């Protein structure tokens, strides 16, 4: 990762900042843009662990869903405050991530994946079965995001979709800023060292388990932030957001975009969201086509789109 | 109350036998090839539906054998064309590939046989209960448990005494040495995969006769099968067998007192096992890390 802002990164921010203006020109709509941002944030949070620590978590939907339910329940039962909803949703994700992370930080590779998937399903069943609190299979309804009062100025994110888009973009930028800062810090460098050669890192005296645990918790924190924003976007929390198939979606976004690059997962999320939106509108068998996309990505683009493009430009 | 407990314990045991068949197949593939087969549930459903389609022509008994064999053939084709390419690479890729295959399986099953549940009825003499007091114990369910018992015993004998079985076990411990001794590892992995898929197909046929056929029937037992493997201990097939029965019965018994926690309880068991004994109940030291 280079220091400073390269032309590519500047172009991404410019595209994101102007999205509400150019999206309608390409038959997009604002909610689609917001969804790309939110799921992109989720995929990038997962990639903090997957791409930059080298740990394969396949159960991250749990924290996405916990954020969503945490935010929804806050708005519904506690107080009509959007910032509080985001804070408490994230807190729920962080607490769960810290507890489960401690149980699994010693596992590696395919076993880490298996344990994370299985644990992720607990939250799905809790949301699915605890009808009185979560609305069960129908999902959590009966709440809506609230306008944000700055005292001198009130931002109406409830009715103004463009305002909500920019609100999400600000949250997205803050989260990315923190993650980029962490990855450039000595802590982030240590994570890369663990990814590249765990045994060597251990011999150097690095407490590997603690680092993996902390990386897991950070990843869960931003994943649950994405979850809170998703609940605010839809004014709805869906138990499917907790299901392991959602975890698989996040992993494929990261891999599709390129998990060795910071921005890759955002590109992957954009392609995935647009593709899913389009396919489900033209065929009932879109699920097969998404499955086929998984197969094609694994067999032909294992380095993701960004990795593929980089290779081409070098060749 | 006694009957209620008995009823749910028995139900749990039945479900546990499905977990066992699924988990043993998953375990075989995981141990030898390091692949978590997400599509395993898809194979289970295909097995059940194939038996449904075949049984009008060849009868229930022949379908009970033919459908799992056909499913295993599909498994061989997929292993040879797709999964084989990913051996030795980051497990991330085989996870994603089989994950995508699971989507395709479920969607195709729905497209071919419909989203509605289909009835698959075993011969009528099997569907009778053994007595009015124990209305929930039908002859079919006893038959099912017997079949699973025989197959599991057969699998263990196969692994213990046949050349192929011994090679599979040896490969699980040290594939490189097995390869150096002149065993065709590619063929070994294919055969091993086929055995695992056969078990899934058989579970599908038996499950179809017990409840009904649905496209998601396999996906629903996939997660508990993972839990069974982790609880029993990765690397130990005996552990997988025990783990599957344990979580089945635990889930059944929970239904008596706290029905809405019947799914969540198995994950609680898993958490406790990982806390107290990280390698699993019968797992070997070091394999999980």
Contacts of B154 (CB under 8 A, 6+ apart): none
Rounded-to-10 torsion of CA A179, A185, A188, A194: 180
Q: What is the pLDDT of residue A6?
A: 74
B99 touches A at CB < 8 Å: yes
Rounded-to-10 torsion of CA A273, A276, A279, A285: 170
Q: Give contacts of A114 with chain B, Cβ < 8 Å.
A: 36, 226, 229-230, 234
- Does some domain include residue B37? yes
In which band, very low, low, confident or very high, does the pLDDT at A107 lie, cut at 50, 70 and 90? confident
Q: Which ranges in chain B belong to alpha helices (H)?
A: 2-33, 40-81, 91-113, 139-161, 163-173, 175-180, 185-210, 217-232, 237-257, 264-276
Substitution target in A130, A298, A299, A302 with the highest count of B β-carbons within 10 Å is A298
Helices A109-129, A61-73: inter-axial angle, 10-degree rounding:
30
Averaged pLDDT of chain A: 86
Residue-by-residue pLDDT tens, chain B, 289 positions? 788 888 888 888 888 999 999 999 999 999 888 888 999 999 999 999 999 999 889 988 898 999 999 999 999 999 999 999 988 888 888 888 999 999 999 999 999 998 888 888 777 777 777 777 777 778 888 888 899 999 999 999 999 999 999 999 988 888 888 888 988 889 999 999 999 999 999 999 998 887 788 888 888 888 899 899 989 888 888 889 999 999 999 988 888 888 777 888 888 888 888 888 878 888 776 554 4
Residue A294, token pair as written in the block:
């998984």
B26 touches A at CB < 8 Å: no
d(CA A181, CA A160): 32
B261 touches A at CB < 8 Å: yes
Residues 241-260 of B with CB under 8 A from A: 260
A291 touches B at CB < 8 Å: yes
Nearest to A121 among B34, B102, B267 (CB): B267
Nearest to A106 among B35, B89, B289 (CB): B289
3-state secondary structure of B283: coil
Contacts of A313 (CB under 8 A, 6+ apart): none
Q: Give contacts of A256 with chain B, Cβ < 8 Å.
A: none
* Residue B138 region by backbone torsions, left for phi larger than 0, else alpha for psi between -120 and 50, else beta: beta
Q: What is the pLDDT of residue A24?
A: 77
Cβ separation A294–B96 shorter than 8 A: yes
User: What Rg, from alpha-carbon coordinates, does chain B have?
Assistant: 19
Convert the pLDDT of each residue in A130-166 to its tens digit.
Answer: 878 887 777 888 787 887 777 777 777 777 888 888 8
Q: Are A62 and A120 within 8 A, CB to CB?
A: yes
Q: Give contacts of B36 with chain A, Cβ < 8 Å.
A: 110, 113-114
B149 touches A at CB < 8 Å: no
B84 touches A at CB < 8 Å: no
Q: Give contacts of A202 with chain B, Cβ < 8 Å.
A: none
B175 touches A at CB < 8 Å: no
B117 touches A at CB < 8 Å: no
Q: Are A212 and A105 within 8 A, CB to CB?
A: yes
For residue B46, the tally of other CB atoms under 10 A from its CB is: 28
Beta strands in chain A (DSSP E): 148-149, 154-155
Q: Are A30 and A165 within 8 A, CB to CB?
A: yes
Contacts of A200 (CB under 8 A, 6+ apart): A193
Contacts of A274 (CB under 8 A, 6+ apart): A28, A32, A36
b/e map of A215-234 (b: 16 or more CB within 10 Å)? bbbbbbbbbbbbbbbbbbbb
d(CA B221, CA B44): 9
Substitution target in A51, A121, A247 with the highest count of B β-carbons within 10 Å is A121
For residue B5, the tally of other CB atoms under 10 A from its CB is: 14
d(CA B138, CA B11): 11
Q: What is the pLDDT of residue A1?
A: 47
Domain interval for residue A126: 6-314
Nearest to A214 by CA among A190, A180, A247, A243: A190
B91 touches A at CB < 8 Å: yes
Residue A8, token pair as written in the block:
């590519």
Substitution target in B260, B261, B266, B275 with the highest count of A β-carbons within 10 Å is B260
Q: What is the pLDDT of residue B40?
A: 94
Cβ separation B289–A110 shorter than 8 A: no
Per-residue CA distances from B135 to A125, B4, B132 (Å): 30, 12, 5
Nearest to A291 among B95, B104, B275 (CB): B104
Residue B282, token pair as written in the block:
């019968």
Cβ separation B263–A129 shorter than 8 A: yes
- Does some domain include residue A1? no
Residue A111, token pair as written in the block:
């076993």
Q: Give contacts of A126 with chain B, Cβ < 8 Å.
A: 264
B264 touches A at CB < 8 Å: yes
Q: How many degrees, rounded to 5, is the angle at CA A177 between CA A1 and CA A54?
A: 50
- Does some domain include residue B118? yes
- Does some domain include residue B97? yes
CA neighbours within 13 Å on the CB side: how many for B130?
A: 9
Cβ separation B95–A58 shorter than 8 A: yes
b/e map of A180-191 (b: 16 or more CB within 10 Å)? eebbeeeebebb
pLDDT at A229 over 90: yes
User: In terms of pTM, does the model score above 0.80?
Assistant: yes
- Does some domain include residue B275? no
Contacts of A254 (CB under 8 A, 6+ apart): A43, A44, A46, A47, A50, A51, A264, A265, A268, A304
- Does some domain include residue B95? yes
Nearest to A288 among B96, B107, B264 (CB): B107
Residue of B nearest to A251 (CA): B96
How many domains does one find in chain B? 1
Nearest to B107 among A103, A291, A294 (CB): A291
- Does some domain include residue B189? yes
**Sign of the CA dihedral running A282, A288, A291, A293:** negative
Substitution target in A111, A128, A135, A260 with the highest count of B β-carbons within 10 Å is A111
Cβ separation B99–A294 shorter than 8 A: yes
3-state secondary structure of B171: helix
Give the position of tokens 């973009």: A169
- Does some domain include residue B203? yes
3-state secondary structure of B118: strand
Cβ separation A298–B270 shorter than 8 A: no
d(CA B249, CA B8): 8
In which band, very low, low, confident or very high, does the pLDDT at A280 lie, cut at 50, 70 and 90? confident
pLDDT at A44 over 90: yes
Nearest to A119 among B86, B261, B267 (CB): B267
Convert the pLDDT of each residue in A179-193 to its tens digit.
Answer: 999 999 999 899 988
B273 touches A at CB < 8 Å: no
How many domains does one find in chain A? 1
Contacts of A294 (CB under 8 A, 6+ apart): A248, A252, B96, B97, B99, B100, B101, B103
Residue of A nearest to B103 (CA): A291
- Does some domain include residue B287? no
B265 touches A at CB < 8 Å: no
Nearest to A118 among B82, B106, B230 (CB): B230
Cβ separation A244–B223 shorter than 8 A: yes
Mean pLDDT confidence for A82-102:
91
Supply the CATH number for residue A156's domain: 1.10.3470
Rounded-to-10 torsion of CA B182, B186, B192, B194: -140
Q: Alpha carbon A123 to chain centroid distance?
A: 17
B214 touches A at CB < 8 Å: no
Q: Give contacts of A244 with chain B, Cβ < 8 Å.
A: 223
Q: Are B204 and B74 within 8 A, CB to CB?
A: no
- Does some domain include residue A45? yes
């Amino acid at each position: 990762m280079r220091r400073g802002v390269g032309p590519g990164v500047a172009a991404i921010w410019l595209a994101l900042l102007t999205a509400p203006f150019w999206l309608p020109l390409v038959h997009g709509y604002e909610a689609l843009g917001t969804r790309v941002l939110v799921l992109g944030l989720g995929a990038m949070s997962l990639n903090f662990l997957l791409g930059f620590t080298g740990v394969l978590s396949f159960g991250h939907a749990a924290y996405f869903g916990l954020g969503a339910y945490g935010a929804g329940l806050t708005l519904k039962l506690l107080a009509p405050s959007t910032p509080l909803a985001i804070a408490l949703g994230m807190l729920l994700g962080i607490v769960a991530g810290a507890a489960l992370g401690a149980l699994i930080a010693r596992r590696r590779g395919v076993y880490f994946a298996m344990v994370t998937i299985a644990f992720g399903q607990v939250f799905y069943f809790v949301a699915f079965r605890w009808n009185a609190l979560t609305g069960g299979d129908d999902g959590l309804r009966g709440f809506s995001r609230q306008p944000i009062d700055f005292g001198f100025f009130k931002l109406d994110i409830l009715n103004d979709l463009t305002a909500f888009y920019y609100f999400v973009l600000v949250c997205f930028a803050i989260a990315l800023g923190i993650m980029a800062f962490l990855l450039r810090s000595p802590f982030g460098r240590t994570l890369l060292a663990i990814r590249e050669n765990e045994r060597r890192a251990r011999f150097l005296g690095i407490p590997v388990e603690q680092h993996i645990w902390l990386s897991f918790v950070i990843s869960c924190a931003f994943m649950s932030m994405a979850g809170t924003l998703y609940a605010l976007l839809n004014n709805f929390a869906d138990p499917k957001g907790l299901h392991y198939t959602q975890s698989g979606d996040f992993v494929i976004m990261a891999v599709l975009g390129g998990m060795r690059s910071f921005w890759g997962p955002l590109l992957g999320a954009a392609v995935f969201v647009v593709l899913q939106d389009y396919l489900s509108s033209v065929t009932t068998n879109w699920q097969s086509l998404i499955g086929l996309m998984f197969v094609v990505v694994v067999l032909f683009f294992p380095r993701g789109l960004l990795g593929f493009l980089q290779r081409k430009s070098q060749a | 109350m006694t009957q209620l407990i008995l009823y749910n314990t028995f139900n749990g045991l039945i479900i546990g036998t499905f977990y066992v068949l699924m988990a043993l197949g998953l375990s075989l593939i995981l141990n030898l090839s390091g692949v978590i087969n997400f599509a395993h549930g898809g194979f289970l459903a295909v097995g059940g539906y194939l038996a449904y389609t075949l049984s009008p022509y060849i009868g229930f008994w022949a379908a009970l054998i033919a459908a799992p064999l056909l499913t295993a053939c599909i498994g061989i084709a997929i292993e040879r064309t797709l999964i084989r390419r990913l051996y030795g690479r980051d497990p991330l890729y085989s996870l994603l590939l089989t994950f995508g295959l699971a989507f395709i399986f479920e969607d195709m099953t729905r497209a071919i046989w419909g989203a509605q549940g289909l009835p698959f009825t075993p011969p009528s003499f099997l569907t009778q209960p053994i007595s009015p007091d124990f209305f929930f114990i039908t002859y079919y369910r006893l038959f099912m448990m017997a079949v699973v018992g025989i197959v599991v015993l057969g699998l263990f004998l196969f692994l213990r005494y046949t050349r192929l079985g011994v090679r599979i076990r040896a490969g699980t411990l040290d594939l490189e040495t097995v390869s150096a001794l002149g065993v065709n590892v590619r063929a070994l992995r294919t055969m091993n995969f086929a055995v695992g898929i056969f078990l899934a197909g058989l579970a599908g046929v038996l499950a179809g006769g017990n409840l009904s056929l649905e496209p998601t029937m396999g996906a629903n037992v996939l997660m508990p099968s993972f839990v069974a493997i982790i609880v029993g201990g990765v690397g130990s097939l005996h552990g997988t067998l025990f783990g599957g029965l344990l979580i089945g019965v635990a889930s059944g018994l929970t239904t008596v007192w706290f029905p809405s926690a019947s799914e969540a309880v198995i994950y609680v068991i898993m958490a406790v096992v990982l806390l107290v004994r990280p390698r699993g109940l019968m797992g070997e030291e070091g394999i999980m890390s």
